[in-house]
């Protein structure tokens, strides 16, 4: 039976997982430079050892409430389309091995925002782990920018 | 056999270079068939290739080179003269060799094609001339040729190097080939036996140069970029330290880094000639193909550009040249009929300007038919007929760069497919360049490409606005102005809803950076406080950018923005500052476009660009005013010195003229509204807007109904007979407006010219 390794993190009390080979590294909160006129989901640019990397707020992408001030976000650096991108999450979990048989499609009742980004659920013993679709998650374009002004 | 592989690689690289030279020489020979030096050079090139091919055992390559060489020997010995037909054959030979070299590079053999047709034609041409032992002279010449070949110590078989001198060549004869790459030691005795026709230029150069992989240079450049960042960080840290030894060391580090950076950048610079040298051949072939006569003029070959920039512009440049020859320059008959010389001129000019390199490609052909572009744009649904009728020519011309729009009547295999110009523009803009076009019917077209010298490290001004630090490339920077309303009249003023600043008497449109970036909404309040203006120029326009603070100037390393952010036009990239934080790099072009596109085009209006288009209409900045509900007029902005709201009670009469007391003088008033369609009379209004104009000597106030906007417009004057105030009418922003003849108004003034205080 095949087992896959996942890197887990929490966003708004949900447990998320991404395949560990997609994760380049985890970095603590880095100072972000805000980018005016950028899509709102882009929470600034960080300096990752000389490389300039956009930070994408996973909360915003999933239309979850904004992160409270007292939670320092963590950067999950993933490689998407060859470019590193930082996913801002609330807390880093573990690296776990999961039985591939525990996979299930997301429920039909999942709304559109989530359906796009969550491509499956792993039924862990204690809780559910949502599988985040990284390629979709970092695909932030002009269209996703709501006119705030 | 890695040694052999290396030698083969050297041979290929060298042969490609030689072939490029061959192309140039052959094209040059066509205009001067008696240039013996060039003939000798062509001959040498072919001979070298033939010899090397023999050495490597590429028989087909050798056969083709040999046949070409034979024909050339006739030319060199004066038994034949170079005609375009023969030149075609020789160029075809060069092409065949190039193809075979590519096959060799890919597969290691010279391919299946034996080029029998080409060989037959070469032989025919050779036989057509009277024979006089050309064969022997081919062989006799050989050793001398070795002088022009790069000396390679890795070349084997030195014992054969003298062979060609003794052996009458009976090609294909491989022994002759070995002599072409002698070792340094063996080359000398050969040279002494032979009359030296050419100086051994190449061997001198090869003594002091080495070939370096571009990928290695790229890597070095990246590393230097990182070093510059680290240096910036240390220098910033050093400012807080007092240890003299550390300060010394950091200063030295700074200097050395700068020098290293310049040095590495230089290694990547190449003269533009490296890509231009291929053009004579391109132009010649095209011209023959299209039945045209074209003379190519190249100016500024020595101008240097970063290799990656050269690579990027190579194809766009070739495309523009193809366009110019194929449908820019007319056929000789057409040209003669139009009273032009039968031979068209295509001229390329490269020169430095303001930290950039400009390349101009101009032809003296038929020009672009703007009406045709207009029609095509409507056909393709890019423009509504209404908009097309009123859009100024320069705007219509931009459609040339739109995908899928070609004005060529017939599609040739050269051009006219409507793909290309958009690609040209994209390529050039991708590397931070820009392309402008100007054209005149019957007189020709000019494309002007502006390119940055290098991409990686640029000097920039660091500013702060809305709490954010940003970098502005020095290239677009003109000057810095501190506007302090507290000391006197110096302040930002408003033309309707457009802020302007009087910079040495000319109105400069103002852009609030914080507003453009959406960091701040209400900017009018800041008109009364100190403002820092960064005067920028982009696309021939000037504007003042208001920032909160000017920090300093720095060398910054340009890093591209992530693809999620590429669509934001106001940013050119990002960089890492001395403190390790990221800062965005502003793009003056993007800023200008953004404020221009948002409808308040006033913000981007700028000083008139004098004589920039060279066509019969000109682009000027004008003040657009209303003279009643449906009558509009424009006043050239260069005459406008002030805009005043005057209470109706202030209008008085002096003699027959209306005047107001203005400062310590009387300002004559010309009521433009009266000439309009009868708008509200003065008494019914609370305030009347008056445009104060001066020509440096005299002043006049023009009473208007309403001030509308400042626009940059291309004015095509339609003369109006006997109009007392207008020089004519023009279409401005889609509506007809009178063009006020300010100069004539001055001459009809009731007062003697009184000097105007500056």
Edge-first strand listing for the sheet containing A14-19: A91-99, A3-11, A14-19, A128-132, A118-123, A103-104
Question: Rounded to an integer, what distance in angstroms lies between the CA atom of residue B48 and that of residue B65?
Answer: 9
- Given a cut of 70, whether residue B405 has pLDDT beyond it is no
The more confidently predicted of residues B333 and B13 is B333
pLDDT tens digits for range A87-138:
999 999 999 999 888 888 888 787 777 778 888 899 988 889 999 988 888 8
Please check whether residue B228 is in contact with residue B261, taking contact to mean a CB–CB distance below 8 angstroms. Answer: yes
A53–B562: do the CB atoms touch at under 8 Å?
yes
Chain B residues in contact with A141 by the CB 8 A cut-off are: 564, 567
- Given a cut of 50, whether residue B183 has pLDDT beyond it is no
Q: What's the Cα-to-Cα distance from A62 to each of A148, B87, B353, rounded to whole Å?
A: 18, 69, 50
Candidate ranges B181-190, B244-253, B548-557; pick with highest mean pLDDT = B244-253
Nearest-Cα residue of chain B relative to residue A149: B518
Q: What is the pLDDT of residue B158?
A: 40
A141–B518: do the CB atoms touch at under 8 Å?
no
- Given a cut of 50, whether residue B678 has pLDDT beyond it is no
From the list A47, A21, A9, A35, the residue with the least C-alpha distance to A129 is: A9
Give the gap in angstroms from C-alpha A127 to the nearest C-alpha of chain B. 33
Q: What is the mean pLDDT of residues B737-758?
A: 67
- Given a cut of 50, whether residue B190 has pLDDT beyond it is no
Chain A residues in contact with B587 by the CB 8 A cut-off are: none
Q: Can you tell me the ipTM of this complex?
A: 0.86
From the list B289, B294, B273, B295, the residue with the least C-alpha distance to B91 is: B289
Q: What pairs with residue A27 in β-bridges?
A: A75
From the list B713, B688, B711, B687, the residue with the least C-alpha distance to B701 is: B688
- Given a cut of 60, whether residue B188 has pLDDT beyond it is no
Please check whether residue B151 is in contact with residue B208, taking contact to mean a CB–CB distance below 8 angstroms. Answer: no
Q: What is the mean pLDDT of residues B99-115?
A: 79
- Given a cut of 70, whether residue A19 has pLDDT beyond it is yes
- State whether residue A138 sits within 8 Å of chain B by CB: yes
The more confidently predicted of residues A6 and B270 is A6
Chain B residues in contact with A38 by the CB 8 A cut-off are: 564-565, 568
Residues 81 through 120 of chain A touching chain B, CB cutoff 8 Å: 81, 83, 85
Cα angle value A67/B567/B499 (rounded, 5°): 95
Please check whether residue B672 is in contact with residue B682, taking contact to mean a CB–CB distance below 8 angstroms. Answer: no
Please check whether residue B20 is in contact with residue B278, taking contact to mean a CB–CB distance below 8 angstroms. Answer: yes
The more confidently predicted of residues B344 and B604 is B344
From the list B182, B180, B188, B176, the residue with the least C-alpha distance to B152 is: B182
The more confidently predicted of residues B617 and B493 is B493
Q: How many residue contacts between A and B have a Cβ separation below 8 Å?
A: 69
A45–B582: do the CB atoms touch at under 8 Å?
yes
- Given a cut of 50, whether residue B614 has pLDDT beyond it is no
Distance of CA B27 to the CA centre of its chain: 26
From the list B508, B475, B493, the residue with the least C-alpha distance to B603 is: B508
Q: What is the pLDDT of residue B452?
A: 75
A141–B468: do the CB atoms touch at under 8 Å?
no
Please tell me whether residue B445 adopts helix, strand or coil conformation.
strand
Q: pLDDT averaged over chain B?
A: 75
A149–B226: do the CB atoms touch at under 8 Å?
no
pLDDT tens digits for range B56-86:
778 888 888 888 888 888 877 777 777 888 8
A38–B565: do the CB atoms touch at under 8 Å?
yes
Q: What is the pLDDT of residue B539?
A: 63
Chain A residues in contact with B468 by the CB 8 A cut-off are: 33-34, 36
Instruction: Evaluate the CA torsion angle B2, B4, B6, B12 in order and state its sign.
Output: negative
Q: Which tokens belong to B358?
A: 């400009």
The more confidently predicted of residues A23 and B754 is A23
Chain B residues in contact with A56 by the CB 8 A cut-off are: 564
pLDDT tens digits for range B430-462:
677 788 888 888 888 999 998 876 666 778 999
Q: Confirm whether B47 is a catalytic residue.
A: yes
Question: Rounded to an integer, what distance in angstroms lies between the CA atom of residue A60 and that of residue B29?
Answer: 68
Give the gap in angstroms from C-alpha B327 to the nearest C-alpha of chain A. 39
Residue in A31, A34, A56 closest to B468 by CB: A34
- Given a cut of 90, whether residue B319 has pLDDT beyond it is no
Q: Tell me which of B14, B30, B69, B555 is the catalytic residue.
A: B69
Q: What is the pLDDT of residue B461?
A: 93
Mark out chain B residues that contact chain A at CB-CB < 8 A. 226, 229, 466, 468-469, 517-519, 521, 559, 561-565, 567-568, 570-571, 574-576, 580-584
pLDDT tens digits for range B131-163:
444 343 343 333 333 333 333 333 344 444 443
- State whether residue A147 sits within 8 Å of chain B by CB: no
B517–A51: do the CB atoms touch at under 8 Å?
no
Q: Confirm whether B150 is a catalytic residue.
A: no
Q: Tell me which of B47, B66, B327, B537 is the catalytic residue.
A: B47
Question: Rounded to an integer, what distance in angstroms lies between the CA atom of residue B317 and that of residue B303?
Answer: 15
Chain A residues in contact with B567 by the CB 8 A cut-off are: 141-142
What residues have CB less than 8 Å from B67, skipping those under 6 apart?
B93, B118, B119, B122, B123, B126
Q: What is the mean pLDDT of residues B505-511?
A: 85
- Given a cut of 60, whether residue B716 has pLDDT beyond it is yes
Residue in A35, A47, A142 closest to B580 by CB: A47
Chain B residues in contact with A31 by the CB 8 A cut-off are: 581
Chain A residues in contact with B575 by the CB 8 A cut-off are: 52
pLDDT tens digits for range B588-604:
878 887 777 333 333 33
A37–B468: do the CB atoms touch at under 8 Å?
no
Q: What is the pLDDT of residue B601?
A: 34
Q: What is the pLDDT of residue B174?
A: 40
Q: What is the pLDDT of residue B3?
A: 57
Give the gap in angstroms from C-alpha B523 to the nearest C-alpha of chain A. 15
- Given a cut of 90, whether residue B653 has pLDDT beyond it is no
Nearest-Cα residue of chain B relative to residue A31: B581
- Given a cut of 70, whether residue B478 has pLDDT beyond it is yes
Give the gap in angstroms from C-alpha B580 to the nearest C-alpha of chain A. 7
Nearest-Cα residue of chain B relative to residue A34: B468
- Given a cut of 50, whether residue B344 has pLDDT beyond it is yes
Residue in A38, A56, A85 closest to B568 by CB: A38
- Given a cut of 70, whether residue B179 has pLDDT beyond it is no
From the list B229, B206, B93, the residue with the least C-alpha distance to B154 is: B206
Question: Rounded to an integer, what distance in angstroms lies between the CA atom of residue A81 and that of residue B496?
Answer: 48
B582–A47: do the CB atoms touch at under 8 Å?
yes
A35–B229: do the CB atoms touch at under 8 Å?
no
The more confidently predicted of residues B125 and B691 is B691
Residue in B559, B564, B581 closest to A138 by CB: B564
Confidence of residue B750 (pLDDT cuts 50, 70, 90): low
Q: Confirm whether B69 is a catalytic residue.
A: yes
Q: What is the pLDDT of residue B530?
A: 80
Nearest-Cα residue of chain A relative to residue B575: A52
Confidence of residue A23 (pLDDT cuts 50, 70, 90): very high
Q: What's the Cα-to-Cα distance from B406 to each of B81, B192, B410, rounded to whole Å?
A: 41, 61, 10
A50–B519: do the CB atoms touch at under 8 Å?
no
pTM over 0.95, yes/no: no
Q: What is the mean pLDDT of residues B690-706?
A: 81
- Given a cut of 90, whether residue B471 has pLDDT beyond it is yes
High-pLDDT (> 90) share of chain B, %:
6
B567–A141: do the CB atoms touch at under 8 Å?
yes
Give the gap in angstroms from C-alpha A20 to the nearest C-alpha of chain B. 23
Mutate to test the interface with B, among A27, A29, A33 (most CBs of B within 10 A): A33
The more confidently predicted of residues B629 and B514 is B514
Chain B residues in contact with A85 by the CB 8 A cut-off are: 562, 564
């Amino acid at each position: 039976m095949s087992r896959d390794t996942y890197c887990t993190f929490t966003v708004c009390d949900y447990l998320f997982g991404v395949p560990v080979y997609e994760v380049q590294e985890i970095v603590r909160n880095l100072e972000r430079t805000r980018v005016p006129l950028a899509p709102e989901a882009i929470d600034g640019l960080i300096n990752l050892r000389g490389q300039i990397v956009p930070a994408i707020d996973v909360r915003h992408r999933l239309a979850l409430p904004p992160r409270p001030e007292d939670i320092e976000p963590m950067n999950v650096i993933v490689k998407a389309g060859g470019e590193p991108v930082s996913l801002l999450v609330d807390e880093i979990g573990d690296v776990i091995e999961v039985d591939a048989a525990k996979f299930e499609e997301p429920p039909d009742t999942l709304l559109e925002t989530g359906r796009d980004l969550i491509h499956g659920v792993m039924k862990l013993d204690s809780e559910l782990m949502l599988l985040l679709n990284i390629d979709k998650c970092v695909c932030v374009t002009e269209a996703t920018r709501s006119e705030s002004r | 056999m890695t040694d052999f592989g290396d030698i083969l690689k050297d041979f290929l690289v060298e042969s490609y270079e030689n072939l490029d030279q061959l192309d140039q020489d052959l094209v040059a020979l066509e205009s001067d068939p008696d240039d013996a030096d060039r003939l000798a050079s062509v001959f040498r090139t072919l001979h070298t290739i033939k010899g090397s091919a023999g050495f490597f055992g590429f028989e087909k390559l050798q056969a083709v080179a040999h046949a070409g060489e034979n024909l050339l020997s006739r030319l060199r010995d004066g038994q034949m003269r170079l005609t375009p037909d023969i030149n075609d054959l020789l160029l075809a030979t060069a092409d065949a060799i190039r193809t075979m070299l590519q096959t060799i590079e890919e597969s290691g053999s010279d391919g299946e094609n034996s080029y029998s047709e080409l060989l037959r034609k070469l032989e025919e041409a050779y036989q057509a001339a009277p024979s006089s032992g050309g064969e022997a002279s081919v062989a006799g010449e050989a050793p001398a040729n070795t002088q022009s070949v790069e000396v390679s110590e890795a070349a084997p078989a030195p014992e054969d190097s003298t062979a060609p001198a003794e052996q009458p060549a009976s090609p294909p004869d491989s022994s002759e080939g070995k002599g072409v790459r002698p070792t340094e030691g063996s080359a000398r005795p050969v040279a002494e036996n032979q009359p030296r026709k050419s100086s051994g230029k190449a061997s001198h150069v090869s003594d002091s140069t080495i070939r370096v992989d571009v990928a290695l240079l790229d890597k070095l450049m990246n590393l230097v970029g990182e070093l510059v960042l680290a240096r910036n960080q240390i220098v910033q840290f050093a400012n807080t330290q007092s240890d003299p030894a550390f300060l010394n060391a950091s200063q030295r580090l700074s200097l050395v880094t700068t020098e290293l950076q310049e040095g590495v950048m230089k290694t990547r610079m190449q003269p533009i000639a490296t890509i231009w040298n291929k053009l004579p051949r391109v132009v010649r072939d095209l011209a023959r193909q299209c039945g045209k006569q074209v003379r190519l003029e190249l100016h500024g070959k020595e101008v240097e550009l970063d290799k990656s920039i050269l690579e990027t512009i190579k194809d766009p440049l070739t495309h523009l040249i193809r366009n110019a020859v194929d449908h820019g320059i007319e056929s000789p008959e057409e040209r003669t009929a139009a009273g032009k010389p039968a031979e068209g001129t295509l001229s390329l000019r490269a020169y430095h300007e303001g930290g950039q390199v400009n390349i101009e490609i101009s032809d003296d052909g038929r020009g672009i038919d703007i009406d045709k572009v207009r029609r095509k744009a409507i056909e393709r649904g890019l423009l509504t007929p209404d908009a097309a009728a009123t859009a100024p020519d320069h705007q219509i011309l931009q459609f040339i760069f739109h995908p899928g729009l070609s004005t060529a009547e017939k599609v040739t295999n050269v051009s006219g497919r409507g793909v290309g110009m958009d690609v040209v523009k994209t390529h050039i803009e991708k590397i931070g360049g820009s392309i402008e076009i100007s054209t005149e019917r019957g007189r020709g077209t000019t494309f002007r490409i502006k390119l940055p010298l290098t991409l990686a490290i640029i000097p920039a001004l660091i500013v702060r606005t809305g709490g954010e630090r940003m970098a502005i490339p020095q290239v677009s920077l003109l000057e810095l102005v501190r506007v302090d309303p507290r000391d006197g009249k110096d302040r930002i003023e408003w033309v309707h809803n457009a802020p302007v600043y009087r910079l040495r008497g000319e109105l400069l449109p103002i852009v609030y950076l914080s507003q453009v970036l959406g960091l701040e909404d209400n900017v009018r309040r800041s008109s009364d406080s100190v403002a820092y203006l960064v005067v920028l120029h982009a696309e021939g326009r000037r504007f003042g950018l208001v920032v909160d603070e000017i920090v300093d100037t720095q060398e910054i390393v340009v890093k591209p923005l992530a693809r999620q952010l590429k669509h934001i036009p106001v940013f050119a990239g990002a960089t890492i500052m001395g403190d390790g934080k990221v800062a965005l790099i502003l793009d003056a072009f993007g800023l200008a476009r953004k404020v221009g596109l948002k409808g308040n085009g006033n913000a981007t209006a700028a000083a008139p660009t004098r004589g920039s288009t060279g066509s019969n209409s000109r682009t000027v900045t004008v003040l657009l005013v209303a003279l009643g509900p449906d009558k509009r007029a424009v006043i050239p902005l260069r005459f406008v010195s002030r805009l005043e709201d005057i209470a109706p009670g202030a209008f008085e009469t002096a003699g027959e003229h209306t005047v107001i007391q203005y400062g310590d003088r009387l300002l004559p008033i010309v009521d433009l509204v009266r000439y309009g369609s009868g708008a509200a009379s003065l008494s019914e209004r609370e305030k009347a807007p008056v445009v104060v104009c001066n020509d440096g000597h005299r002043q006049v106030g023009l009473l208007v109904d309403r001030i509308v906007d400042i626009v940059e417009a291309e004015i095509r004057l339609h003369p109006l007979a006997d109009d007392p105030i207008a020089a004519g009418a023009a279409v401005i922003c889609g509506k007809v407006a009178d063009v006020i003849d300010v100069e004539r108004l001055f001459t009809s003034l009731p007062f003697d010219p009184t000097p105007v205080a500056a």
